[in-house]
Amino acid sequence: MAGKFELDDVVTNGAAKNGNGNGHSALSHAGAAPTLHDANVQEIYAELLKRIGEDPTRDGLKQTPKRMEKSMAFLTKGYEQSVAEVLHDALFDVDYDEMVMVRDIEFYSLCEHHLLPFFGKAHIAYVPNGKVVGLSKLPRIVEVFARRLQVQERLTQQIAEAIEEAIAPQGVGVVIEAQHLCMMMRGVEKQSSATVTSSLRGVFKTQLQTRNEFLSLVRAER
């Protein structure tokens, strides 16, 4: 999309406004044709619809740029969140040194290569070292990183690193099982494949018994 960003009247019919709702658009500038930098998010989505051969003025698509903007904001809200904010008052001193595990944490994310969804379950375990985190916070940590453009390998590592930094446990293990629509809807089009990634740290990496216990719990029948 080099050079001028061409927009026609489809983005001046009221369907596209900027995030402040004040009605300004790239086309509100008098004189020269607007550039891509001038366009707001909804105008860009309207242009994308045109470029795939659609008509953004037809009834079914008039509100689509607005919906796309809201949808993408929700699906990538992790950029506006931090682990520190999620955990703030949910760290507790506890005299417990056995494994803590939350498994089958559902998540949905977007592949950064094609912006297609991948989804599945995350399994998290850690061995405390004098401090534990509220159980509901583990799924929230997953959500912080899943609601960003991701690759599964990095997502797995980020979750493990966040728990390590938050409570300095004796060890942490994360396993993610996911299906990727970029493999199912396009490319090789394999419908039954699953991708499994893991990040094992501390005693989960150095102690065979701890690692085997964790992995056996991941594989156990639900």
Q: Is 24 annotated in the active site?
A: no
Dist CA 155 CA 193 (whole Å) = 19
Closest CA to 159 of 120, 200, 207, 212: 200
Q: Residue 202, by phi and psi: left (phi above 0), alpha (psi -120 to 50) or beta?
A: left
Catalytic residue among 42, 47, 69, 111: 111
Structure tokens at 84: 């520190």
Helices (H) and strands (E) in the chain, counts: 8, 7
Q: Is 29 annotated in the active site?
A: no
Catalytic residue among 24, 29, 88, 113: 113
Q: Is 112 annotated in the active site?
A: yes
What 218-221 contacts at long range (C-beta under 8 Å, 24+ apart), as own/partner pairs, is: 218/103, 218/123, 218/175
Catalytic residue among 177, 182, 207, 213: 182
What 155-164 contacts at long range (C-beta under 8 Å, 24+ apart), as own/partner pairs, is: 155/109, 155/197, 156/122, 156/197, 156/198, 156/199, 157/199, 159/122, 159/124, 159/199, 160/199, 160/201, 162/83, 163/124, 163/126, 163/133, 163/138, 164/201, 164/202
Catalytic residue among 6, 85, 112, 153: 112
Catalytic residue among 114, 179, 207, 213: 114
Q: Is 114 annotated in the active site?
A: yes
Q: Is 111 annotated in the active site?
A: yes
Catalytic residue among 42, 152, 158, 170: 152
Dist CA 40 CA 14 (whole Å) = 13
Give catalytic residues, as residue numbers: 111-114, 152, 180, 182
